[in-house]
């Protein structure tokens, strides 16, 4: 939250984007009802949502592919290990841009989330734009991003951009970071550097409107999407293997 009198963010997290993500999470907790069931997609090792949900008497479940995470269930959004209409809320923070790394298309992941949500249930999601992950997020392709959620499957209850208009704060140029980039990310970030794009967060609250899930893409477009996801995922795994092998040789 921006404090105009002090001309700074109220939170003091490790980065300007983390300030936004934490504030978004805190501002969403009033939507949680006691005894409701909430699934957090890609919870990692951060227990902020788990703690806030517990304070509201919400039953929290976590899903993450990493066995070292705080997840109650190890797995990916490609196949969520719960029955149909099980959850009242599904929460996904800074996750969707990474789905392709486990060869999960947007349609596959969103279909599974739609399946485990009860009718009228709430899907809360946020993701970075001009940061990392899939190229539609890295390059800020708003038309493609919006298409993911503008569907008869969902009602868009709320759609906010955090830090898109960053003034009077400083812009956040992520290509200045030292984290090693994969080739596809490096190429995208060279474009961002030329365009001077500051990273921001898009946050949405969606309601499951229909018992049927409507595909974002159909026919040949689905095949193309899946092929691209497989190639990018294979490339990243190959790079990790090479880096691991080089580390062992040294």
User: Could you identify the residue written with the tokens 């940061």?
Assistant: 131
Domains and CATH numbers, the chain: 2-249 (3.40.50.150)
What backbone torsions phi and psi does residue 207 show, to the nearest 5 degrees? -115, 135
DSSP string, 101-112: GGT--HHHHHHH
Q: What does the pLDDT read at residue 173?
A: 75
What pLDDT is attached to residue 106?
Answer: 92
Q: Which residues pair with 207 in a beta bridge?
A: 122, 155
Please give the Cα distance from 59 to 37 (Å, whole number). Answer: 5
Alpha-carbon gap, residue 228 to 94, rounded angstroms: 21
pLDDT value for 213: 93
Which residues of the chain are under the pLDDT cut of 70?
1-10, 14, 174-187, 193-195, 217-223, 225-226, 229, 232-233, 235-237, 239-240, 243-250
Q: What is the pLDDT of residue 133?
A: 82
Of 247, 223, 233, 199, which Cα lies nearest the Cα of 19?
Answer: 199
| First and final C-alpha spacing in the chain | 46
H/E run at residue 136? helix 135-138
Is-contact 189 175, C-beta < 8 A?
yes
Q: 113 preceded by cis ω (within 30°)?
A: no
- Identify the sign of the CA torsion 95, 97, 103, 104: positive
Q: How far apart are CA 108 and CA 67, in angstroms?
A: 22
| Spatial separation of the C-alpha atoms in residues 12 and 67, rounded to whole Å | 29
Residues forming a β-bridge with 40: 62, 91
DSSP H/E element including 201: strand 200-208
pLDDT of 76 reads 93
Would you say how long the chain is, in residues? 250
Residue 64 corresponds to which tokens in the numbers above? 């993450």
- The pLDDT, as a whole number, for residue 23 is 92
């Amino acid at each position: 939250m921006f404090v105009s009198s002090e001309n700074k963010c109220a939170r003091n997290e490790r980065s300007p984007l983390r300030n936004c993500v934490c504030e978004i999470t805190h501002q969403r907790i009033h939507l949680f009802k006691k005894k409701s069931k909430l699934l957090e997609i890609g919870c990692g090792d951060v227990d902020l949502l788990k703690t806030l949900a517990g304070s509201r008497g919400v039953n929290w479940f976590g899903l993450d592919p990493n066995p070292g995470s705080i997840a109650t269930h190890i797995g990916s959004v490609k196949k969520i290990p719960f029955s149909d209409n099980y959850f009242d809320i599904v929460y996904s923070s800074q996750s969707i841009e990474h789905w392709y790394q486990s060869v999960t298309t947007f349609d596959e992941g969103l279909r599974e989330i739609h399946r485990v949500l009860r009718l009228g249930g709430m899907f809360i999601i946020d993701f970075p734009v001009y940061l990392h992950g899939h190229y539609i997020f890295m390059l800020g392709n708003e038309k493609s991003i919006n298409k993911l959620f503008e569907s008869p499957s969902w009602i868009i209850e709320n759609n906010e951009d955090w830090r898109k208009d960053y003034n009077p704060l400083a812009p956040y140029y992520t290509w200045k970071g030292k984290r090693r980039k994969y080739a596809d990310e490096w190429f995208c970030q060279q474009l961002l550097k030329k365009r001077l794009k500051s990273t921001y967060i898009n946050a949405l609250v969606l309601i499951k409107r229909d018992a049927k899930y409507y595909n974002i893409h159909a026919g040949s477009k689905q095949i193309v999407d899946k092929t691209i996801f497989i190639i990018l995922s294979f490339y990243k795994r190959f790079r990790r293997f090479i880096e691991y092998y080089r580390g062992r040789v040294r």
